[in-house]
Amino acid sequence: MSTLTPDILSTLEQQGIELPSWAFGNSGTRFKVFTTPGTPRDPFEKIADAAEVNRVTALAPSVALHIPWDKVDDYAVLRRHAEDLGVALGTINSNTFQDDDYKFGALTHEDAGVRRKAIDHHLECIDIMDATGSRDLKIWLAEGSNYPGQADLRGRQDRLHESLQEIYARLSGEQRLVLEYKFFEPAFYHTDVPDWGTSYAQVAALGDRAMVCLDTGHHAPGTNIEFIVMQLLRLGKLGSFDFNSRFYADDDLIVGAADPFQLFRIVYEVIRGGGLNNPDVAFMLDQCHNVEKKIPGQIRSVLNVQEMTARALLVDAEALRAAQVSGDVLAANAVLMDAFYTDVRPALAEWRESRGLPADPMAGFAASGYQEKIEADRVGGVQAGWGA
Amino acid sequence: MSTLTPDILSTLEQQGIELPSWAFGNSGTRFKVFTTPGTPRDPFEKIADAAEVNRVTALAPSVALHIPWDKVDDYAVLRRHAEDLGVALGTINSNTFQDDDYKFGALTHEDAGVRRKAIDHHLECIDIMDATGSRDLKIWLAEGSNYPGQADLRGRQDRLHESLQEIYARLSGEQRLVLEYKFFEPAFYHTDVPDWGTSYAQVAALGDRAMVCLDTGHHAPGTNIEFIVMQLLRLGKLGSFDFNSRFYADDDLIVGAADPFQLFRIVYEVIRGGGLNNPDVAFMLDQCHNVEKKIPGQIRSVLNVQEMTARALLVDAEALRAAQVSGDVLAANAVLMDAFYTDVRPALAEWRESRGLPADPMAGFAASGYQEKIEADRVGGVQAGWGA
Amino acid sequence: MSTLTPDILSTLEQQGIELPSWAFGNSGTRFKVFTTPGTPRDPFEKIADAAEVNRVTALAPSVALHIPWDKVDDYAVLRRHAEDLGVALGTINSNTFQDDDYKFGALTHEDAGVRRKAIDHHLECIDIMDATGSRDLKIWLAEGSNYPGQADLRGRQDRLHESLQEIYARLSGEQRLVLEYKFFEPAFYHTDVPDWGTSYAQVAALGDRAMVCLDTGHHAPGTNIEFIVMQLLRLGKLGSFDFNSRFYADDDLIVGAADPFQLFRIVYEVIRGGGLNNPDVAFMLDQCHNVEKKIPGQIRSVLNVQEMTARALLVDAEALRAAQVSGDVLAANAVLMDAFYTDVRPALAEWRESRGLPADPMAGFAASGYQEKIEADRVGGVQAGWGA
Amino acid sequence: MSTLTPDILSTLEQQGIELPSWAFGNSGTRFKVFTTPGTPRDPFEKIADAAEVNRVTALAPSVALHIPWDKVDDYAVLRRHAEDLGVALGTINSNTFQDDDYKFGALTHEDAGVRRKAIDHHLECIDIMDATGSRDLKIWLAEGSNYPGQADLRGRQDRLHESLQEIYARLSGEQRLVLEYKFFEPAFYHTDVPDWGTSYAQVAALGDRAMVCLDTGHHAPGTNIEFIVMQLLRLGKLGSFDFNSRFYADDDLIVGAADPFQLFRIVYEVIRGGGLNNPDVAFMLDQCHNVEKKIPGQIRSVLNVQEMTARALLVDAEALRAAQVSGDVLAANAVLMDAFYTDVRPALAEWRESRGLPADPMAGFAASGYQEKIEADRVGGVQAGWGA
């Protein structure tokens, strides 16, 4: 426990990372979706899997739902199911990319009828939020166009504002709207919310409870993501993270897998800007486990965030400031690298044990027999997936 | 007919661009595949649609098949069907990305049994080539890994060589193997044939009838593709093109849609290197019409290639050389731009009419009633798609 | 004159593109700056060269100055010199990247003394604006850091705001501040104003007369620049363009040279958003003629903008809307491409002649003997350059 | 010393990384070159600085020279100077980018006279190699063009081959030619050796003693560099590394600074392919210390390579193979990450002390007074730089 102070451990103890229900279903590429035994067939099974991640890590206290994939008849039942398993229902994610009507847009569509349908879908999502007790409505828009001229960029932006306004107006109490941006895909020429600037301009025009969602895989090559984290925290508009990692595009790999140092820098900037364990800034995963096992994939992911948070908390802030002020480039960089290169894993393992958790949650899960059980039990039915 | 000389027109008359059967089926992204009325249900209908493109353009004399998507009981029947419609069966494309066995590789798989299966699939493809009279076996490998460590890069490269050797040995007569490379997708950490250098090294190790296939959408951002065209022609290893265009990744948009000037430069380098109307260099399309109509999309595509070829043929070679030799940067660039900016469309329209083709093939197709007919006729059955 | 209507010609007649004085001096890369005979030695000679561009094109009515490169004892004299040659003095560009004090920042520096110096430099620039009658103060900041940890991103952003506020407060009358953003270079880890979102947030916090400057070469690979044009026009914050083109990074090539279709789309979005011939949106060049001749390079550049504007004005807005509304992807794209592929050069040449200008300004300049004259006259002295 | 076995330490003891003499001179961007007190004025002082890096690390036994920057009257004297300081003279780097004659190319120039001059420069470099006892002639070519049409890509490639052939023929004994490739800069449209494939094709056409040099900063965004390392080792053509790191372009930052995990993967692939401590594969640095102190910058760099090599040597090869063979994606990745996350620094510090080296070479250098001494001594004269 040498490297991690009680202060750091107490900070880590408060950390919670929301899991996406859809990470437990099948996902893939346009070329192939590989299936795996034990994959959940319904929202109840997804939540059970998510709760298992929390059981061995104490890091994943809530589960985000995706509508309509996670629609159920009675959300009170689903909520009790989750609570019985020790987790809460979290963010509600809308879906405007899987209906034929949305081929040319949803909230931005030229046709008022299609916009109506898309707005109504979001209003239904808010109804579900009322039932589940969820705070956040997360909107990721697949809208855009594939060919220059296909769409009127400006008109779409204006219609987007109108549609969002109507959705925003329906929120009540503590509820928030978080608007995700994405560089490209599934549209290949233009995307209606392609960058943080657009998301920021749109949510700023809505009001205080509209925030930006930063998905770490949704940027142009070479983008300095921690800079955006800093800026959005400074502007008071960082509402949530969708964590994952990427080498090329929106690869949706396990967070920290592609560039661990980038994750470190992002978490460092979160801490620097007061965003850690700040209820305004939700930490979520949004990943696809196309080739790896899903539950262990999620365990690995939350551990990566925890380990990197521990490292970022080790940064010697005073030494860093001194080096920055004096213009000592190498010393300043060394302070950061010193924290990054510190191996926090033994201390975290010891600490976990002291809290009644498996020292190695990956091994703990493997030894639990849970995977074997679901593979045996979940026979028949239709495995959950994106339904693309 | 002012801008295009008889020489240029006679060169254009020889041009042929192979169409991919799968472009007439449904395609999409991991998020959604939109379907359209009239989509073919079998290889016969795909070929009928391809023949329609050729009917109005005289530019698409052959159709590439994809195995197993285009498997039929009797290829002689399919061949006759094509010939009756005025087109030939062309390149055979293999598929090693849609079987569960191939989750971790096919020709590169750690398991000899899986490699055997993948090699046998290619041998079957060559059997089909024997039956269809196709010259080229095109291999695009979806193989790779998503996480560092997942795969042994070196071992896979060696096994790839062995597998390809066995396939290559089965070719006979004029048959060729063309090996496609791709920067990324569906694998996100490493791809076994990611760049032209790897494809070149692999086919050079096989023999004279193994060539590189250059897909214009399969490069890193910023790659100078015409340079690669030049180099592969120089090395005698440019076997074929898969034409399409992209803004970001492998968007598979209509060729010339994203960056017409790039297409011009590519075609110019083809001409410069002796690759135009050279049987060694096959021109093919490989596109996905996710949101636009498929047959018109293919018509637009072959017209784009034809128009850009006409422009590239207008480059004043003598003036260009003079400017290059004298180091007159602006003059040399101006020679190229002058050809690019020349509007060849009126002359091409006139020429088409003189050959009994519609002056405007897009309008010609629209007026033909073909689309309405297939929408009415092709009811029931399963629309062709990627089967992902 | 067939393709261009009187309305279009009258619109084109109003077009003005500001030239940067520094384009006439030497520039290069970190590896080498090649010099050329006839290069100006002082601001007077630069303005003479710029006036020559205007003389043969009637497209370049003003010249941007760079301080301190273009400092003179008496700006009234410089202004008269310009006016005598038929051009006006335009935007004043500040420089905070060439003094040793600015190694670790200027307006963002940790040290209040360095910030003071940098602010004072900008106040001096405004004094010069008062003397030259310039409206715009353009600020491009080279500030950033090369290594993670080197700089406190957040503190710098806050100090940037404070510094800009003091500069902004000094503006009077119609004067404006335009803040440029740049993805990277000369800093390689972080840049203090890296994207339009940051520039927008900073200028929005200043006031109505603070605007964003969009340099077409300052974006991440693959960025849809016309989308940003649309968004900034929509937000009322597009203050000016720095036109140039690039294949890779901030290559500063001749506008339209790398991707003419992109320039077309940008100009189309300017027109769509009401930004053409709108005094709020200044058109400027910012290019480096490293290997080509400088005056002809500038002539080529303004002609490229003019030709592309003519093409963009040809877009059939009604047909485009109809296709967009009906979801006819190919038809909508065709409307745009039809305008892009129209060869407007003959009509423009004819129109130029009718206005007493050379039909071909490149040839007109070459025939004028100006280049030979300056090569003979400008012997001795120190050629202007960046002084890096 | 717990983490590092005697085997690993003995492997590390053999490691040598060549330093570039020019890293001790001033460098910068096209915007500004900042100077620093104590910068060497001649090759003797550069070598003295390089020897200091070796003194505190025992990692840098040789120094690469750049001609003409490091030309001296008597190379025997320079060689003795180096040997007296405990280092050897290493690779000779040619320069064909700083002479006005090379504006449009050197080895590829249209003009035979310019090619002659460039070839002769390389022959002179080989003369110097004979005098210094250097084995490798490293050729990085700045050649290319800025505008489409400016250059005849194909003719240049052919001339490059001819020029290289003449240079290669002059090599004797163990001497080698290593040909570097670079994606872009200083040319912005095309570069004559832009990728590993071109370098490979060119050196393969020369002979066994012609190899590829891989500069880790010379690739397109997103390129999987370790894959290229694997491939070149497999093809027997990896001649040397130029180590540095980058966020965007050829940033030339300290190796490992931008993406430490990428450096780990590269070194792992070197080990996997038998390239570590293999005389065929030279490890060199090629960096620019634009804002940080130069000697400490080089110390930091060789330590980064050493630390990452230690981590890569910790990979449990057996466990990795088992996981790869069984298709256990997460387990295989974990084996790699486990090594990467191990903090080898304490063990390395202890080991250094046991060898009579400073436990912390950065601190050791700082305490040595060397920097203060050169700042006091090196007054007057012209500081070394790129002379751009």
| pLDDT: which is higher, D246 or A386 | D246
Two tokens, residue A341: 């290169």
Peptide bond into D6 cis (omega under 30): no
What is the percent of chain B where pLDDT is above 90? Answer: 98
**pLDDT tier at B1 (50, 70, 90 boundaries)?**
very low
By three-state DSSP, how is residue D69 classified? coil
* CB-nearest partner of A153 from C223, C269, C333: C269
Calculate the average pLDDT of chain D. Answer: 97
> Is this prediction's pTM over 0.90?
yes
pLDDT digits (tens, 9 = 90+) for D147-187: 999 999 999 999 999 999 999 999 999 999 999 999 999 99
pLDDT digits (tens, 9 = 90+) for C313-322: 999 999 999 9
C336 inside 8 A of chain A by CB: yes
- For residue B260, pLDDT beyond 90: yes
- For residue B151, pLDDT beyond 50: yes
Do residues A60 and A54 touch, judged by C-beta distance below 8 A? Answer: yes
Any alpha helices (H) in chain B, and if so which ranges? 6-13, 43-57, 75-84, 112-132, 153-170, 196-204, 225-234, 260-272, 294-313, 317-325, 329-341, 345-354, 361-368, 370-377
Quick check: C343 and B345 CB within 8 A? no
The rounded distance, in Å, linking the Cα atoms of A47 and D55 is 60
**pLDDT tier at B2 (50, 70, 90 boundaries)?**
low
What is the percent of chain A where pLDDT is above 90? Answer: 98
pLDDT digits (tens, 9 = 90+) for A108-136: 999 999 999 999 999 999 999 999 999 99
The whole-number pLDDT of residue A2 equals 58
Which chain A residue is nearest to residue B141, measuring alpha carbons?
A31
Q: Reading across the β-sheet that carries D88-93, which strands appear in turn? A: D19-20, D62-66, D88-93, D136-139, D176-180, D210-215, D238-243, D282-285
Amino acid letter, D378: R
What is the percent of chain D where pLDDT is above 70? Answer: 99
**pLDDT tier at C386 (50, 70, 90 boundaries)?**
confident
Interface of D with B in 103-122 (CB under 8 A): 103-104, 110
Report the complex ipTM: 0.97
Of C138, C147, C151, C134, the closest CA to residue C182 belongs to C138
Q: Which of A227, A308, A333 best tests the C interface by mutation, with the highest count of C CBs <10 A?
A: A227
Taking the CA of residue B340 and the nearest CA in chain C, the distance in Å comes to 9
> Which residues in chain D are closer than 8 Å to A262, comparing Cβ atoms?
259
Calculate the average pLDDT of chain A. Answer: 97
Q: Which of A109, A156, A160, A195 best tests the C interface by mutation, with the highest count of C CBs <10 A?
A: A195
Element (H, E) at B191: strand B190-191
pLDDT digits (tens, 9 = 90+) for D237-290: 999 999 999 999 999 999 999 999 999 999 999 999 999 999 999 999 999 999
- For residue D1, pLDDT beyond 50: no
pLDDT digits (tens, 9 = 90+) for C233-244: 999 999 999 999
The whole-number pLDDT of residue B76 equals 97
Dmax over Cα atoms in chain C, in whole Å?
A: 66
What is the percent of chain A where pLDDT is above 70? Answer: 99
D291 inside 8 A of chain A by CB: yes
**pLDDT tier at B282 (50, 70, 90 boundaries)?**
very high
**pLDDT tier at A145 (50, 70, 90 boundaries)?**
very high
What DSSP state is assigned to residue D176?
A: E
The whole-number pLDDT of residue B166 equals 98
C-alpha distance across the termini of chain A, in Å: 47
D4 alpha-carbon distance from chain centroid: 27
Kindly list the structural domains of chain D, giving each domain's residue range(s) and its CATH number in brackets, ordered by start. Answer: 15-315 (3.20.20.150)
The whole-number pLDDT of residue C1 equals 44
**pLDDT tier at B386 (50, 70, 90 boundaries)?**
confident
The rounded distance, in Å, linking the Cα atoms of C158 and B91 is 61
Element (H, E) at D63: strand D62-66
Q: Which of B340, B343, B348 best tests the C interface by mutation, with the highest count of C CBs <10 A?
A: B343
Do residues B108 and B156 touch, judged by C-beta distance below 8 A? Answer: yes
The rounded distance, in Å, linking the Cα atoms of A52 and A5 is 28
The whole-number pLDDT of residue D387 equals 66
pLDDT digits (tens, 9 = 90+) for D325-362: 999 999 999 999 999 999 999 999 999 999 999 999 99
> Which residues in chain B are closer than 8 Å to C262, comparing Cβ atoms?
259
Q: What is the DSSP string of C100-131?
A: GGGGG-STT-SSHHHHHHHHHHHHHHHHHHHH
* CB-nearest partner of B188 from A32, A35, A248: A248
B362 alpha-carbon distance from chain centroid: 21
Taking the CA of residue C332 and the nearest CA in chain A, the distance in Å comes to 5
Any alpha helices (H) in C74-195, and if so which ranges? 75-84, 112-132, 153-170
pLDDT digits (tens, 9 = 90+) for C305-364: 999 999 999 999 999 999 999 999 999 999 999 999 999 999 999 999 999 999 999 999
Three-point CA angle B76, B82, B88, nearest 5°: 95
Quick check: D248 and C247 CB within 8 A? no
* CB-nearest partner of B260 from C247, C248, C261: C261
**pLDDT tier at C387 (50, 70, 90 boundaries)?**
low
The whole-number pLDDT of residue D386 equals 84
- For residue B23, pLDDT beyond 70: yes
Of B193, B268, B198, the closest CA to residue B233 belongs to B268
**pLDDT tier at D3 (50, 70, 90 boundaries)?**
confident
**pLDDT tier at B56 (50, 70, 90 boundaries)?**
very high
- What is the count of residue pairs from B and C with beta carbons less than 8 Å apart? 55
The rounded distance, in Å, linking the Cα atoms of C162 and A210 is 27
The whole-number pLDDT of residue A18 equals 98
* CB-nearest partner of C230 from A153, A184, A336: A153
Do residues B302 and B53 touch, judged by C-beta distance below 8 A? Answer: yes
The whole-number pLDDT of residue A3 equals 81
**pLDDT tier at A1 (50, 70, 90 boundaries)?**
very low
